Structure 1
Amino acid sequence: MKLLFLGDVMGRAGRTAVAEQLARLRADWALDFIVVNGENATGGMGLSAAHAKELLDAGADCITLGDHAFDQRDMNSALEAEPRIIRPLNYARSAPGVGARLFTTQGGKKVFVAQALGQVFMKRPFADPFSALDAALKAAPLGQIADAVIVDFHAEATSEKMGMAHWLDGRATMVCGTHTHVPTADARIMPRGTAAISDLGMCGDYNSVIGMEPLEPMRRFVTGMVNGRFTPAGGAVTLSGLYVETGEGGIARRVVPVRLGGLLQESAP
């Protein structure tokens, strides 16, 4: 199978770039399944139901969220109505929606997608992501029920993300870090066959401060004072993510970082 996971979509510019390019990428790369992290797609803070529909209509097979999952009020009802959107497993037990789901591709393959939030350096405490993902993956073992297993680990610390990659090595096709909006250079295949990267980066304008227009973040760094709202940058967008081809039993046999357009050096399968 050929899989693509795009990192955090940032604001209107990110949504537009995904809408304009995703169908072409699916066709050109013969993609079987596409995951998009959409938790910053609405004004940089959360995802609205309308903007979720934009990403799904563009060709995303699954949208993952993150710590901003419920910043937009209508996401509560959207999670109940739209099975292609998942929120973190280790959010509050009372949260709507689910944190893992088994999907069927147009070709009849089974793809299990799960997401969890990290604990290190996050603004609020979340339940243990390691045990949450451990339990979730037992419901759809790789190579048995699932032809591919994709994990979105939405976390701040690279050490925690690397720990998760080792924890799930051999049990997931790909373990992808999201959240920091900065793509890391450590895409690799782990010893037991899991493709891993500490952070996918964002689908946004990199002439920014992690996707935001620089002025207000710089003012806060320099003065320590808030003078206005963060505004998503609207310049040229780089689509950032990870492309993976699977081998026997659903393990990764090829992994390629994706950097298309914008300011970053272009790379693609």
Structure 2
Amino acid sequence: MMSDTSQPFAISDAPLGGLPSADTTLLANAPLEVAICEVRFTAESIGVPVETAERVRNSLSESLGIDFTSIQPATQNTMEINLNAGGASWSGDETRGWQIASANGQHSATVFPGSVIWQVADYKRWSISMRRPLDMLLGAIATDLSPSLIQRIGLRYVDRFVDHSCLKPQDWEGKIDGTLLGPICNPGFGSLVTGAQQQVELALDGRHGSVLRHGPIPDPASKSINYLLDLDVFANATWPFRVEEVLDTAERLNRTALSLFQACVSSDYLKSLQGEGQS
């Protein structure tokens, strides 16, 4: 049997899972609250020197033109459950690293000995908000921590659709695709539904998947109902750590997430998010 250490897929612009190509028009009314990319890897390092955090901070500030003022210790807890004849036992471990955050709190990078996380709340477009900082972060990791293998790449996009005219979950009919609304559209009890948080798991292929969490959520401030769409797309595969291949993998995951996003909303609502019909 051959070892699974090749790149997880051939370079391609097409979304995974046979999903249709997405419309790449930028949204004028983007509902995105936060975008997150996590890259997990194996490395010999058991800690992250503060000098690495300082270099990441300086590189981010120079590359993005954003003032990163904060470097704070970060911890990551893991829990392992061991099953044996005597029952179950739990063991925990704590990993230490650093979080580097911008002055306005809209951008942050967290570096651990086995993972790096980039988070942005002020998303512009993939090339600027994600690929450029990831390129810099992964380059720093490659130099300082000497990673050997990639274990997982995950992208997460949390969207909150806001329409103050939606006063009950049923008002999202015609905006969110009806196949997702499910019980809200039920002719018998749909009008009685006050909440319907759901999780959908997708197998895009043998190495890639997605988890879609969604549902209506109340907005007490406006007394309206928002709609939350939380998309997680990921690659679970092991292959040698090469920065450019990680970036290309993440970019294809991004295109997959965009295709899934557009499949979750109606065509008319997508046009309104793109700003069509507005002066």
Whether these two folds match at TM > 0.5 is: no
TM-score range normalised by the length of the shorter chain: under 0.3
Q: Which of the pair has the greater relative contact order for Cα pairs under 8 Å at 6+ separation?
A: 2
Structure with bigger gyration radius: 2
